[in-house]
């Protein structure tokens, strides 16, 4: 049985976290991985309508670039073993914003820390728009 | 030779100029300097006038231990429109969040289209103001809006859609 440990090291190597100094090798966690976790976690919270942004602009951005829809509204800043996250969201009209936003913050913090082992320093939730069910039907 | 010496020499030549072409150049040069100075003063005044007073705010921030929650002006506008449109004979056409430059207080400007000939505008505006304040406190959990100014932009005969 292997008892060698991998350690996630501090540092940002070209948009990815570099891990080395272990006998087994390196673990690199890209910022996009963290953005994906953030996207999935945020969208699973009751009261969150969707990640903010224009579908039209995002579709064009996806065709031109490599970033997935919604990831443009998520920014991840890596500082060593610490990560600061900023996410722009559209929430459901009528929901209690501080409650939903706090749930988003705590869920993102626990999910990112559990999955990546990184320390989440701060989660900034930007409530971009409030959408109701009528807007959903129109779309 | 330093730049200061060069400039002082240039000024000496210009001030002691007797040649007609050099004198013309001198007049043009000083006219240019004076024009530049006047334009700079005007630009400074314009910047001062536009930078003082109130400006449009992009939202407000609520800090907590996990980070911060920023509520955008658009989200606030969505809430105000929802509240306004729930009132009979009222349609909110535009919402502006204004931030005071001096004390950083936030104000709301709500533009309305009102319908119905028998509508009491003052009464309706007061109801709307109170409902908006209550709604912001209830849904955003903050009490940061100092005042709400209601502008009735248009009055239509029938109830606005």
* Whole-number pLDDT of residue A7: 44
Closest-CA residue in chain A for B142? A98
CB contact under 8 A, A125 and B72: no
The question of ipTM being above 0.90 is answered as no
**DSSP code of A71?**
G
Task: For an interface test with A, give the residue of B84, B97, B139, B142 to mutate (most A CBs within 10 A).
Answer: B139
- Identify each DSSP E strand in chain A by its residue range: 12-13, 16-17, 29-30, 48-51, 74-79, 82-92, 119-131
Task: For B53-106, write each residue's pLDDT tens digit.
Answer: 677 888 888 888 888 999 999 999 999 999 888 888 888 899 999 888 766 788
Is pLDDT at A2 greater than 60 in this prediction?
no
Task: Please tell me the distance from the alpha carbon of residue A120 to that of residue A112, in angstroms, as a whole number.
Answer: 7
SS3 B120: coil
Residue B159 has pLDDT above 70, yes or no: no
Interchain contact, B67 vs A132, CB within 8 Å = no
Which residue from B115, B106, B99, B126 is spatially nearest to B153, judged by alpha carbons? B115
Residue A136 touches partner B, C-beta closer than 8 Å: no
Rounded Cα–Cα distance for residues B59 and A63 (Å): 31
Q: Which residue of B has its CA nearest to A129?
A: B75
Distance from CA of B53 to the nearest CA of A (A): 26
Residue B2 scores a pLDDT above 80: no
State the Cα torsion B129-B135-B140-B141 to the nearest 10°. Answer: 100
Tens of pLDDT, residues B108-135: 899 988 877 667 778 888 888 899 999 9
Task: Provide the shortest C-alpha distance from residue B62 to chain A (in Å).
Answer: 9
């Amino acid at each position: 049985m292997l008892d060698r440990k991998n350690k996630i090291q501090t540092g940002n190597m070209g948009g990815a976290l570099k891990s080395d100094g272990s006998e087994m090798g390196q673990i690199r966690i890209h910022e996009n991985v963290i953005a994906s976790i953030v996207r999935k976690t945020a969208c699973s919270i009751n009261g969150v309508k969707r990640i903010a942004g224009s579908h039209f602009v995002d579709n064009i951005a996806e065709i031109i670039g490599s970033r997935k829809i919604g990831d443009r509204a998520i920014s991840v800043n890596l500082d060593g073993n610490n990560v600061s996250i900023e996410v722009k969201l559209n929430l459901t009209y009528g929901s209690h914003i501080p409650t939903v936003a706090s749930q988003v913050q705590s869920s993102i913090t626990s999910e990112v820390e559990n999955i990546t082992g990184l320390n989440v320093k701060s989660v900034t939730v930007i409530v971009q728009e409030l959408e109701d069910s009528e807007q959903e039907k129109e779309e | 030779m330093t730049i200061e010496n060069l400039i002082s020499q240039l000024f000496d030549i210009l001030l002691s100029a007797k040649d007609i072409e050099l004198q013309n150049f001198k007049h043009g040069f000083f006219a240019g300097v004076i024009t530049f100075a006047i334009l700079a003063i005007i630009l400074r005044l314009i910047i001062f006038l536009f930078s003082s007073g109130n400006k449009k705010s992009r939202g407000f921030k609520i800090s907590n231990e996990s980070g911060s929650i920023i509520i955008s002006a658009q989200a606030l506008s969505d809430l105000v429109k929802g509240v306004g449109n729930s009132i009979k004979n009222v349609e909110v056409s535009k919402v502006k969040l204004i931030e005071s430059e001096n004390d950083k207080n936030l104000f709301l400007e709500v533009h309305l289209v009102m319908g119905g000939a028998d509508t009491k505008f003052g009464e309706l505006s007061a109801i709307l103001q109170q409902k908006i304040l209550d709604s912001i406190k209830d849904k955003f959990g903050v009490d940061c809006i100092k005042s709400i100014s209601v502008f009735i932009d248009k009055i239509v005969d029938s109830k606005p859609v």
